[in-house]
Amino acid sequence: MFRFAPSPTGDMHIGNLRVVLFNYIVSKQQGDRLIVRIEDTDTERNIDGKDREILEILNSFKIEYADVLYQSHNLKFHQQFASTLLQTGRAFNCFCTPEELDRKREEAEKNRVAFRYDGTCERMSDNDVLNMEKPSVVRIKRPDTSVKFNDLIKGDMEFQPEDIDNFILLRQDKRPTYNFACAIDDMLSDISTIIRGEDHLSNTPKQIAIQHALGYGKKIDYAHLPIILNIEGKKMSKRDSASSVKWLFEEGFIPEAIANYLFLIGNKTPKEIFTIEEAIEWFKIENISKAPAKFDIDKLRFVNREHLKLLDAEDLSKRVGYFDKTIGEIAKVYLEEASTLNELKSKIDKLFSKRAFDGEYGESVKILSGIVKELEPIEEFSEFKKALMSKSGLKGKNFFKPLRVLLTGEESGPELSLIYPLLKNYLQKIVE
Ligand code: GLU
C-alpha cells in the first residue's frame, strides 16, 4: 500500500503534487493501491476546507485513490501504542518544562554542541513518576544501535542513536507528534513504500525507531524526493506564486501539462511531452536525480502549449469557456501565440467582443463593419477581401489593419486566411 499524507494547512504545493504523482504512478506500476491520509492532528495549523481542496486537485489530475483517512481518527491508537511503549520500557514520561529545556538548549548552543535530551526523566523511578504532579510528555528511548535504511534515490542511509535522540511521542495534551502519528498510521495501513519530500529524511530513522520499539518488523521502502528550486536557485516556497497548484490553475496551466512537467524535472525521460499513462510504462523512481530539481516557468509554458495542442477542438473550446467545436478550432490557431488557457481565452474573448471603433483605425473599422452587415455570406477569404476592398475603397495598410481589427479585435495576430474559414459563420454576430 502507498500513501499520500498531506497536512491541510495551506495551498497544495507543487512539491506535494510531485510526491502524490510519483506515489500514484509507482503504485500503478506495482499493481498496488494508494490511500490519502489527511494529517490533521496539528489542529492550530489546520485550515478549514483545505482537505477538500487537496482531494479536488487530485481529481483534476485523475489520480485514483483507494481511501481517504483522517489522522485525527486514529488518536486512540496513538495513545494506546504510547501506553504500550511506556509499559515495555521503550518510552518514558518526561516532566522537564519547556523553560528548563530552553535553558539547556541555549547552554548547548553556547558550547557549540548539538542539543540532546540529557535523560533526566529517563532515570526516574516508577514511584517518582507516580508521585509527580506536573504535566508530562512521553519520550521514546533512543535506540541502542544506529538505524539503517536504503533510500531508492539517495542510496544507503545510516543515522546514529544520538541523532535520533529521546524525541517526543505524545505532547502534554496527549496529542501525538508528527513522527509518532505517522509511524503508527503507516503501520496500521500496512504501508509498503513511502515516497515523500527530502525534508522528511531525518524523520525516517525516528519513525523506523518507533516501529522497531513496537516490534513491527515489516520493511518499508523509502524514496525521498529532492527539493524543487526556483529560478534563482532558492527552495520554492510560498513566496513563489508558482509553487501553488491552485495558482497554476488560475493562470491557465492545465493538469496534463503540470503533471508532465513535474515528471520531467530532475529526471531522465525518453521524451519531453507525454501523458501520465505513458509515463507509467517507463518511469523509474531510481532515475530521479539526487540533486535538487529546478522549476522554470518558461519551460512549463512550453509544455503547457504542447498539451493544449494535443486537446481536441471541443475540449479546448470548453476549457476557454465556450462550448463550440469551431471556436476550439479558432483557439488552436491562436496557440501560435498563446501558452496558457488565460492567454488563449483573452484572445478568443476579444475576437467575440463588440468592436469599439476607436483608435487609429476606428473609422475604417466602422466602414468595413457596415459593409459586412450588408454582405451575403462569402466562402473564400480572397473573395471576401476583394469585395470589402472594392466596396470600401480602402487600400494597403489602411485596409488590412482595420480588416484585422474587425475580424479579430486586435491589430496583430495569426494569418487571417487561417481564421476566416472558421470565423465566417460568426461574422454577422461580430458586426451586430
Ligand atoms: N504531512 C507531511 C507533510 O505534508 C507529510 C508526511 C509524510 O509524507 O510522511 O509534509
Ligand 1 pocket: which of 196, 201, 245 to mutate (most atoms within 8 A of CB): 196
Q: What's the whole-model pTM score? A: 0.94
Q: Is 404 in the pocket of ligand 1 (CB under 6 A)?
A: no
Task: Compute the distance between CA of residue 296 and CA of residue 232 in angstroms, rounded to an integer.
Answer: 10
CA-proximal residue: ligand 1, atom 2 (nearest) = 6
pLDDT at 356 over 90: no
Q: Which helix (H) or strand (E) covers residue 304, if one does? A: helix 297-310
What pLDDT, in 10s, does the model give residues 24-81?
999 999 999 999 999 999 889 999 999 999 999 999 999 999 999 999 999 999 999 9
Q: Who's near 199: CB < 8 A, 6+ residues apart?
A: 227
- Mean pLDDT over the full length of the chain: 96
Which pLDDT band holds residue 432 (cuts at 50, 70, 90)?
confident
Percent of the chain with pLDDT over 90: 97
Task: Compute the distance between CA of residue 334 and CA of residue 415 in angstroms, rounded to an integer.
Answer: 10
Q: Is 431 in the pocket of ligand 1 (CB under 6 A)?
A: no
CB hemisphere CA count around 384 (13 angstroms): 24
Distance from the CA of 85 to the center of ligand 1, in angstroms?
Answer: 23
Distance from the CA of 99 to the center of ligand 1, in angstroms?
Answer: 29
Which pLDDT band holds residue 242 (cuts at 50, 70, 90)?
very high
pLDDT at 404 over 90: yes
Ligand 1 pocket: which of 200, 204, 207, 227 to mutate (most atoms within 8 A of CB): 200
pLDDT at 17 over 90: yes
User: What pLDDT, on the 0 to 100 scale, is given for residue 326?
Assistant: 97
Query: Nearest 5°: CA angle at 136, between 9 and 96?
Result: 100
What pLDDT, in 10s, does the model give residues 307-332?
999 999 999 999 999 999 999 999 99
User: What pLDDT, on the 0 to 100 scale, is given for residue 402?
Assistant: 97
CA-proximal residue: ligand 1, atom 6 (nearest) = 5
User: What pLDDT, on the 0 to 100 scale, is given for residue 201?
Assistant: 97
Q: Is 39 in the pocket of ligand 1 (CB under 6 A)?
A: yes
pLDDT at 138 over 90: yes
Adjacent-strand bridge partners of 148? 158
Distance from the CA of 367 to the center of ligand 1, in angstroms?
Answer: 64
Cα→Cα distances 413→168, 320, 334, 388, 417, Å: 63, 18, 8, 20, 11
Which of ligand 1's atoms lies nearest the C-alpha of 203? Answer: 9
